[in-house]
Amino acid sequence: MANFQIYPAVDLKDGNCVRLVHGKEKKMTIYENDPIKQVKFFAQNGFKWVHIVDLNAAFGKCDNKEVILKILNTFKNNIKIQLGGGIRSIEDIKFWIESGVSRIVLGTFAFKNPDLINNLSDFFNKKLALGLDIKNNKIAVNGWTRLLEIDPIKYVSEIDKKFFDKVIYTDISKDGTLTGVNILQTTKFAKSIKIPIIASGGISDIDNVKALYNHRDIGISGVIIGKAIYEKKFDLKNLTMFSGN
């Protein structure tokens, strides 16, 4: 059976752990003002990975670099970090990998610089994930403020798979809403590409997770869960049973 991973989400805004609805800054809820405490909670509950998004950097308004470095230094021996948000240069990617990030999520930068991305050195092998934020079947970039006229499936077929070992597929219309994952579109997309995908957006209960887990053999390799965890929609022991290494 294919491996499957649960990625609890830590979205950082001004040093706080927050959740947005549809990626909009004005629809924000602060759940924890100590990110170290939040990551520690996830580590203590058996999660192997944490998905961190630097919302400040994504929106181009400063960043949470010091907070993220503190998380990396504190948990370097017991949890892996998947990081996205505002990473806009090769230097940024290299800095974070050297700082201990296990996987970098690239969105806007990858779409704007396809030739640069496909000519990276072996240092970046299997260290990257492509962040596909989808709205109306189009790719959203720049903190979800702009839509690209690019076919997502065609784009994925053209990226070098030795660098990208995951695609993070987010349905923006579902993100932060607790209305349920878009299983139909997610499975359709997973079948259409040759890179394993991590589903994201709208997870509301354990049945959503089970549905994705049951499709792991068609390329769904995990799920990012944010608001549903913070709103206590799960018994976390039931959630971590789905996670691999």
Measured in whole angstroms, how far is the alpha carbon of residue 224 from the centre of its chain?
A: 6
Residue 82 belongs to some domain of the structure: yes
DSSP per-residue string spanning 215-231: TGGGTEEEEEE-HHHHT
Residue 70 belongs to some domain of the structure: yes
Q: Is 207 a catalytic residue?
A: no
Q: How far apart are CA 123 and CA 167, in angstroms?
A: 19
Domain that holds residue 151: 5-240
DSSP 107: S
Catalytic annotation, pick one of 11, 63, 171, 175: 11
DSSP 64: -
Cβ neighbours, 10 Å, residue 241:
12
Q: Is 11 a catalytic residue?
A: yes
Q: How far apart are CA 6 and CA 24, in angstroms?
A: 24
The per-residue pLDDT string of the chain (245 residues; one tens digit each, 9 = 90 and over) reads: 468 999 999 999 999 999 888 777 778 899 999 999 999 999 999 999 999 999 999 888 888 999 999 999 999 989 999 999 989 899 999 999 999 999 999 988 888 888 888 889 999 999 999 999 888 778 887 766 788 888 889 889 888 889 999 999 988 877 777 888 889 989 999 999 999 999 998 899 999 999 999 999 999 999 999 999 999 998 888 888 888 75
Q: Output Rg (C-alpha) for the chain, integer angstroms.
A: 16
Total domain count, the chain: 1
Which CATH number is 13's domain given?
Answer: 3.20.20.70
Catalytic annotation, pick one of 14, 34, 122, 133: 133
pTM: 0.93
Residue 195 belongs to some domain of the structure: yes
Q: Give me 68's structure tokens.
A: 């993220």
Residue 58 belongs to some domain of the structure: yes
